[in-house]
Amino acid sequence: MKRLVLVGPGHAHLHVLEALARTPLPEVETVLVSLGPRQLYSGMLPGWIAGDYALEQLSFELARLARAAKARLEPSGAAALRADRRELQLGDGQVLGYDVASFDIGSLPAGPELPGVTEHARVLKPLDRALTVLPEATRQSGPLLVVGGGAAGVELALCLQARTGRPTVLIERGEEVPRGAPRSAQRLIRRLLARRGIKLRTKAALASLSAGSARLESGESLPFTTCVWATGARAPELFAKSGAAVDAQGYLAVEDTLRSPSHPELFATGDCAGFISGQRVPKAGVYAVRQGPVLSANLRAALTGGGSLRSYHAQSGFLSLMNAGDGTAVGAWKGLAFHGRAVWRLKDAIDRRFMARFQRLAG
Ligand SMILES: Cc1cc2nc3c(=O)[nH]c(=O)nc-3n(C[C@H](O)[C@H](O)[C@H](O)COP(=O)(O)OP(=O)(O)OC[C@H]3O[C@@H](n4cnc5c(N)ncnc54)[C@H](O)[C@@H]3O)c2cc1C
């Protein structure tokens, strides 16, 4: 009997579990390692904040999903990887050996080492922590500060402001908001933020947080009563001391087959994978979703010794949809940007369809 360990219930691993439920792998024991008993879908989290969804609509029980795939769930998380010994240490102290292990554990928000961030900001990952943001934001009054002008930061600022009516400031260290979006989408978002009274501060790098006050590198202070931390991605800490090859940012290095160049029994996918071929793979859920079928086929090949591995090639762009929190959404596609109720309906339909797939599987 061989053992496959799937670490993290990220987007691509959901696909692997779905495939295992449909076509089980004989003589393979599958273990799913998660941080807790449920998975939240980040794409619908801003909608939950805006009041569009109940929590059950964006979450599912991992034990049920694992059962459908005839896998065992270990919900205490992975604490350490010893790649040379093919061992994974879990949060509850257990040590799991593996024949093949695959990582889909996402990324962490950048910048928590800045003074005061851990104490005074609501950091969004692991995503369960984001659930504390809404009760706090609705209970308190006064200025709401969102740090990070990527798509997630913009959506959260819009949805929190729509739900709470609080004065909201969005700060971004660069010039682009949303970071990396086409110019047309940036213009549209700027107009929308202004219309909604959300103050946007670009080229505003945060230096430190203290109770009720954010200090920028320029020396300026911004008052706040709730601070939400939605900065760009950094690598999970698990890989640094694992003995497996990592890329320059500390993500688990992979070839285009999603396999580690140093340890062929290791795979990584989604945000936590660092592609060494140089292909550009943004840290976004839509890329992790597309990696699912390739990963699934390659894990089967690695476990059965059958066939060559498939390569993953990232799509050149994707339809980005941001919830504006007021029954509208903003979309960006190949240099075009659009806003309105129909865009929200499209986003809602896509997200619901994605969730329904796995909620059905989880019974
Ligand atoms: C508010 C918000 C909204 C977003 N909206 C979108 C969107 O609309 N579209 C889009 O493409 N992207 C969106 N993103 C980005 C998106 O969430 C990530 O890029 C995406 O989730 C990455 O997918 P993944 O499969 O790599 O990992 P994830 O979906 O992050 O899943 C990783 C899982 O692994 C678990 N895990 C972490 N560490 C461990 C460990 N040590 N042991 C075991 N399990 C572990 C985590 O708890 C999590 O369940 C959004 C992000 C945020 C914060």
Q: pLDDT tens, 317-329?
A: 889 999 999 999 9
105: Cβ below 6 Å to ligand 1? yes
The pLDDT > 70 percentage for the chain reads: 100
Number of other residues whose CB lies within 10 A of the CB of residue 80: 14
Residue 363 reports pLDDT greater than 90:
no
Residue 210 reports pLDDT greater than 90:
yes
Is 20:66 a contact under the CB 8 Å cutoff?
Answer: no
Ligand 1 pocket test, pick from 105, 129, 228 with the greatest ligand atom count within 8 Å of Cβ, gives: 105
- Ligand 1 centroid vs 286 CA: distance in angstroms? 10
Going by CA atoms, what residue is nearest to atom 36 of ligand 1? 105
Question: Hunting for tokens 């889909």 — which residue is that?
Answer: 104
Question: Hunting for tokens 């990582």 — which residue is that?
Answer: 103
Ligand 1: atom nearest CA of 283 is 19
pTM of the complete model? 0.96
- Ligand 1 centroid vs 10 CA: distance in angstroms? 6
DSSP state of 237: G
Residue 86 reports pLDDT greater than 90:
yes
Ligand 1: atom nearest CA of 318 is 11
Is 150:179 a contact under the CB 8 Å cutoff?
Answer: yes
Higher model confidence: residue 127 or residue 300?
300
Which tokens sit at 44? 């619908």
- Ligand 1 centroid vs 27 CA: distance in angstroms? 31
Alpha-carbon gap, residue 100 to 95, rounded angstroms: 15
The closest alpha carbon to 339, from 353, 323, 355, 361, belongs to: 323
Is 10:318 a contact under the CB 8 Å cutoff?
Answer: no
pLDDT average, residue stretch 128-149: 92
pLDDT at residue 289 in the model? 96
Alpha-carbon gap, residue 207 to 280, rounded angstroms: 30
The domains located in the chain, with CATH, are 2-35+76-107+235-304 (3.50.50.60), 110-231 (3.50.50.60)
pLDDT at residue 126 in the model? 84
pLDDT at residue 124 in the model? 85
Q: How far is CA 45 from CA 11, 30, 224, in A?
A: 15, 29, 22
Alpha-carbon gap, residue 281 to 271, rounded angstroms: 9
Going by CA atoms, what residue is nearest to atom 19 of ligand 1? 284
Which phi and psi (to 5°) does residue 297 adopt?
Answer: -65, -40
pLDDT average, residue stretch 165-186: 95
